[in-house]
Structure 1
Amino acid sequence: MARQNLAIRTVIFSMLGNAALAVIKFFSGFFGNSFALIADAIESVVDVFASILVLIGIRYAARPADDNHPYGHGKAEPLITFLVVGFLIVSAATIAYQAVQNILTPHPSPKSWTLWVLGAIILWKEISFQLVNNRSKKLKSSSLKAEAWHHRSDAITSVAAFIGILIAIFGGEGFEVADDYAALIAVAFILYNCYNIFRPALGEVMDEDNHEELTETIRRIASQVQGVNGTEKCYIRKAGMKYHVDLHANVDGNLTVREGHDIAHQLQDTLKREIPELGHVLIHIEPFEIS
Structure 2
Amino acid sequence: MADRHNQSLTAIWISLISNVLLTVLKLVVGLLFASPVLVADGVHNAGDIIATVAALSSSMVSKKPADEDHPYGHGKAEVVASALVAIILVLAAFWVGVHSIGALLEPPHGGESWLALGAAALSLIWKQILYVYTIGIGRRNRSKSVLATAYDHLADVYASAAAVLGIGLGVLGERMGWDWAAYGDPVAGIIVALLVLKLAYGMAREAVDILMEKNVAADKLTEFESLIREVSDIKRVDRIRAREHGHYVTVDVRVGIPGSYTIQQGHDITRKIKQSIMDADPSVVEVLVHLNPWYEGES
After TM superposition, the score normalised by the length of structure 2 is 0.86
What SS does the corresponding residue of 1:110 show, helix, strand or coil? coil
**Do the aligned residues in 2 keep the contact of 1:39 with 1:183 (CA within 8 Å)?**
no
Distance 1:23 1:181 in 2: 25
Using the TM superposition, give the Cα deviation of residue 74 of structure 1 relative to its aligned residue in structure 2, in angstroms: 1.8
Distance 1:266 1:193 in 2: 41
Distance 1:12 1:248 in 2: 42
Q: Matches of residues 256-275 of structure 1 in structure 2 within 5 Å? A: 256-275=262-281
The CA deviation string for residues 135-154 of structure 1, in whole angstroms up to 9 with x for no partner, is 22222233322211111110
Distance 1:185 1:192 in 2: 11
Q: Which residue matches 1:87?
A: 88
Distance 2:7 2:237 in 1: 34
Q: Which residue matches 2:210?
A: 204
Out of 166, 169, 183, the position equivalent to 2:189 is 183
Give the direction of change, closer, same or farther, for the CA distance of 1:269–1:210 in structure 2 (3 Å limit). closer
Using the TM superposition, give the Cα deviation of residue 70 of structure 1 relative to its aligned residue in structure 2, in angstroms: 1.6
Distance 1:253 1:74 in 2: 37
Q: Which residue matches 1:18?
A: 19
Residues 153-162 or 78-87, more deviating: 78-87
**Do the aligned residues in 2 keep the contact of 1:157 with 1:183 (CA within 8 Å)?**
yes
Q: Which amino acid aligns with 1:145?
A: L
1:114 counterpart = 2:120: no
What SS does the corresponding residue of 1:196 show, helix, strand or coil? helix
1:7 counterpart = 2:8: yes
Q: Which residue matches 2:288?
A: 282
Out of 141, 160, 171, the position equivalent to 1:158 is 160
Give the direction of change, closer, same or farther, for the CA distance of 1:49–1:114 in structure 2 (3 Å limit). same
**Do the aligned residues in 1 keep the contact of 2:215 with 2:241 (CA within 8 Å)?**
yes
For structure 1, list consecutive stretches of 5 or more residues without a partner in the other structure.
none
Q: Matches of residues 123-138 of structure 1 in structure 2 within 5 Å? A: 123-138=125-140
Distance 1:134 1:198 in 2: 20
Using the TM superposition, give the Cα deviation of residue 128 of structure 1 relative to its aligned residue in structure 2, in angstroms: 1.5
Q: Matches of residues 100-111 of structure 1 in structure 2 within 5 Å? A: 104=106, 107-111=109-113
Matched residues, number: 291
Using the TM superposition, give the Cα deviation of residue 201 of structure 1 relative to its aligned residue in structure 2, in angstroms: 0.5
What SS does the corresponding residue of 1:208 show, helix, strand or coil? coil
Q: Which residue matches 2:171?
A: 169
Using the TM superposition, give the Cα deviation of residue 99 of structure 1 relative to its aligned residue in structure 2, in angstroms: 4.4
The CA deviation string for residues 189-226 of structure 1, in whole angstroms up to 9 with x for no partner, is 22222112111001001111142232233223333434
Using the TM superposition, give the Cα deviation of residue 287 of structure 1 relative to its aligned residue in structure 2, in angstroms: 3.1
Q: Which amino acid aligns with 1:49?
A: I
Residues 38-47 or 20-29, more deviating: 20-29
**Do the aligned residues in 1 keep the contact of 2:58 with 2:77 (CA within 8 Å)?**
yes
For structure 2, list consecutive stretches of 5 or more residues without a partner in the other structure.
none
Give the direction of change, closer, same or farther, for the CA distance of 1:190–1:14 in structure 2 (3 Å limit). same
**Aligned-pair RMSD on alpha carbons?**
2.5
What SS does the corresponding residue of 2:34 show, helix, strand or coil? coil
Residues 175-184 or 203-212, more deviating: 175-184
Q: Which amino acid aligns with 2:191?
A: I
Q: Which amino acid aligns with 1:143?
A: S
After TM superposition, the score normalised by the length of structure 1 is 0.88
The CA deviation string for residues 208-246 of structure 1, in whole angstroms up to 9 with x for no partner, is 114223223322333343433453421011111111110
Q: Percent identity?
A: 25
Out of 220, 233, 246, the position equivalent to 2:239 is 233
1:73 counterpart = 2:74: yes
Q: Which residue matches 1:216?
A: 222
Out of 243, 256, 266, the position equivalent to 1:250 is 256
What SS does the corresponding residue of 1:176 show, helix, strand or coil? helix
Q: Which residue matches 2:57?
A: 56
Q: Which amino acid aligns with 1:170?
A: L
Q: Which amino acid aligns with 1:211?
A: A
